[in-house]
């Protein structure tokens, strides 16, 4: 597989959110605004790239029966690094994403890529795979977050669009949990429609 | 690439080495970020104190057990010169929609609310997190808690027969918020009547 294809597959063809439907917990939980989606996506991307890289480097050293605990320790370490660094240097965003950062550990996207890709490929391909998948995840989360923010509070990245009449903040349901399911459903339908056309 | 055989010793060594490297790295990152994290927390608290009491040049901190509740509240007594200009009370409630809410409320000497700031909460974004502007809007006197004396008004939401209008679609959060203020106020007043210490 060429590296370009390897990189771009994460965006549409194998998009972790819209096509593979992996890592739904942060997808539904944090996407109340575009900024939260972007922050969560980038944090996950960092963990994906780093864990893919390390897993591909140590894969010859790990007996296959204990590979899962080994991968989990590697992933959990990077998540903790992200968590601590964000608490120290990105205080506001960390306060917003709160509980969801530690949950990147159990995001099946990260373990899934370590198991399905990084443990079988070389370091460079693994970084590219992690980057592509991570950015595809970020793209999906930002899109979903943006949609919910726009419909739910009439803003995008915190800037008011003045799309709703005076005195109405937006459709509250989109900020709440049910709105996440509704918006995600429609986005998946749209993506399916678009990718069928090109296929 | 040939995988290591699944022997007992290989598995132990692999997991041991990975865990040791991970532990060392994390220990290092923890040490490196400990300072900035504490600093960020301190800055946030300082900013909040400055927001809820008038200008001061000296702070005296005391811990006080609340009239009800398990954990102690922190009083930040703000002095300008020798004069006590206000007391910022760091108070909490267990009644939040999802977990404890920490707020800080500034009181004058006789217990009027000067201002408040939200320190920590896990309320629903877009609903409960409107606490910050909601209760301090000068154009909406029925929501306003600033410049009021909780001893003289009924500090509960209007649904429960009180004097304060709750946040639209976030009554639970509003009740919790007022509960936190009430806890702070009662503790502050009983502390005052006990001679201030």
DSSP result, B69-85: SSSPEEEEEEEETTEEE
CB contacts of B10 in chain A (<8 Å) are: 63
HEC profile for chain A? CCHHHHHHCCCCCCCCCCCCCCCHHHHHHHCCCHHHHHHHHHHHHHHHHHHHHHHHHHCCCCCHHHHHHHHHHHHHHHHHHHHHHHHHHCHHHHHHHHHHCHHHHHCHHHHHHHHHHHCCCCHHHHHHHHHHHHHHHHHHHHHHHHHHHHHHHCEECCEECCCCCCCCCCCHHHCCHHHHHHHHHHHHHHHHHHHHHHC
pLDDT at B23 over 90: yes
* % of chain B residues with pLDDT over 90: 20
B161 and B86 in a common domain: yes
Contact A66 B29 (CB under 8 A): no
B71 and B127 in a common domain: yes
pLDDT at A113 over 90: no
B81 and B33 in a common domain: no
- Closest by CA position to B107, among listed B187, B193, B197, B46: B187
Q: What is the pLDDT of residue B32?
A: 92
B57 and B46 in a common domain: no
Domain count for chain B, please give it.
Answer: 2
Nearest by CB to residue A85, choosing from B15, B33, B169, is B33
Domain end call among B33, B50, B67: B50
Q: What is the pLDDT of residue B1?
A: 45
Q: What is the pLDDT of residue A168?
A: 67
Cβ–Cβ contact A102 with B under 8 A: no
Task: State the pLDDT confidence band at A14, using cuts at 50, 70 and 90.
Answer: confident
Q: Are A28 and A21 in contact (CB under 8 A)?
A: no
pTM over 0.80? The answer is no
| B51 to chain A, closest Cα gap in Å | 18
Q: What is the mean pLDDT of residues B41-55?
A: 87
Q: What Å distances lie between residue B50 and A19, B106, B117, B145, CA to CA?
A: 50, 9, 10, 18
B87 and B60 in a common domain: yes
Q: What is the pLDDT of residue A163?
A: 67
As a whole number of angstroms, the distance between CA A153 and CA A30 comes to: 15
pLDDT at A88 over 70: yes
B110 and B34 in a common domain: no
Q: What is the mean pLDDT of residues A104-114?
A: 86
B117 and B102 in a common domain: yes
Q: State which residues form the domain around B8.
A: 1-50
- Quick: pLDDT tens for B139-152: 888 888 888 888 88
B68 and B154 in a common domain: yes
Nearest by CB to residue B36, choosing from A89, A153, A176, is A89
B61 and B86 in a common domain: yes
As a whole number of angstroms, the distance between CA B22 and CA B19 comes to: 5
Q: What is the mean pLDDT of residues B49-72?
A: 85
B35 and B114 in a common domain: no
Q: What is the pLDDT of residue A198?
A: 57
In this predicted structure, which of A97-106, B65-74, B79-88, B178-187 has the lowest mean pLDDT?
Answer: A97-106
Contact B29 A172 (CB under 8 A): no
B6 and B96 in a common domain: no
Contact A91 B44 (CB under 8 A): yes
- ipTM value greater than 0.95: no
CB contacts of B6 in chain A (<8 Å) are: 63-66
Q: What is the mean pLDDT of residues B101-116?
A: 89
Nearest by CB to residue A63, choosing from B1, B5, B30, is B5
B186 and B153 in a common domain: yes
| A4 to chain B, closest Cα gap in Å | 24
CB contacts of A175 in chain B (<8 Å) are: 124-127
Q: What is the pLDDT of residue A107?
A: 83
């Amino acid at each position: 597989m060429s590296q370009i294809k390897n990189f771009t597959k994460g965006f549409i063809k194998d998009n972790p959110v819209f096509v593979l439907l992996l890592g739904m917990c942060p997808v539904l939980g944090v996407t109340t605004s575009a900024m939260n989606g972007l922050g969560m996506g980038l944090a996950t991307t960092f963990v994906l790239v780093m864990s893919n890289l390390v897993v591909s480097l140590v894969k010859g050293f790990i007996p296959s029966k204990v590979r899962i605990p080994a991968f989990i320790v590697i992933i959990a370490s990077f998540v903790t690094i992200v968590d601590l660094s964000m608490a120290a240097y990105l205080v506001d965003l960390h306060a917003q994403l709160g509980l969801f950062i530690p949950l990147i550990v159990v995001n099946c996207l990260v373990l899934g890529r370590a198991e399905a890709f990084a443990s079988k490929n070389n370091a460079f391909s693994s970084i590219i795979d992690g980057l592509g998948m991570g950015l595809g995840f970020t793209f999906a989360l930002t899109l979903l977050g943006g949609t919910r923010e726009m419909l739910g509070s009439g803003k995008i990245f915190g800037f008011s669009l003045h799309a709703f009449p005076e005195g109405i903040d937006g459709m509250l349901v989109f900020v709440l949990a049910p709105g996440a399911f509704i918006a995600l459903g429609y986005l998946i339908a749209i993506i399916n429609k678009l990718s069928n056309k090109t296929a | 690439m040939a995988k290591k055989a699944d022997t007992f010793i290989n598995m132990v060594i692999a997991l041991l080495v990975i865990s040791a490297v991970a532990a060392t790295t994390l220990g290092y990152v923890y040490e490196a970020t400990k300072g900035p994290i504490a600093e960020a927390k301190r800055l946030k608290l300082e900013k909040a104190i400055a927001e809820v009491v008038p200008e001061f040049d000296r702070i005296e901190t005391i811990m006080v057990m609340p009239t009800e509740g398990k954990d102690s509240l922190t009083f930040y007594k703000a002095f300008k010169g020798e004069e006590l200009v206000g007391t910022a009370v760091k108070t909490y409630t267990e009644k939040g929609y999802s977990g404890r809410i920490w707020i800080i409320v500034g009181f004058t000497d006789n217990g009027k609310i000067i201002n408040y700031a939200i320190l920590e909460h896990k309320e629903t974004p877009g609903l409960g997190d409107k606490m910050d502007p909601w209760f301090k809007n000068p154009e909406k006197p029925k929501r306003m808690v600033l410049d009021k004396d909780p001893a003289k008004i009924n500090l509960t939401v209007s649904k429960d027969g009180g004097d304060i209008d709750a946040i639209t679609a976030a009554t639970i959060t509003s009740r919790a918020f007022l509960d936190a203020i009430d806890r702070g106020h009662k503790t502050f007043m009983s502390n005052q009547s006990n001679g201030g210490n």
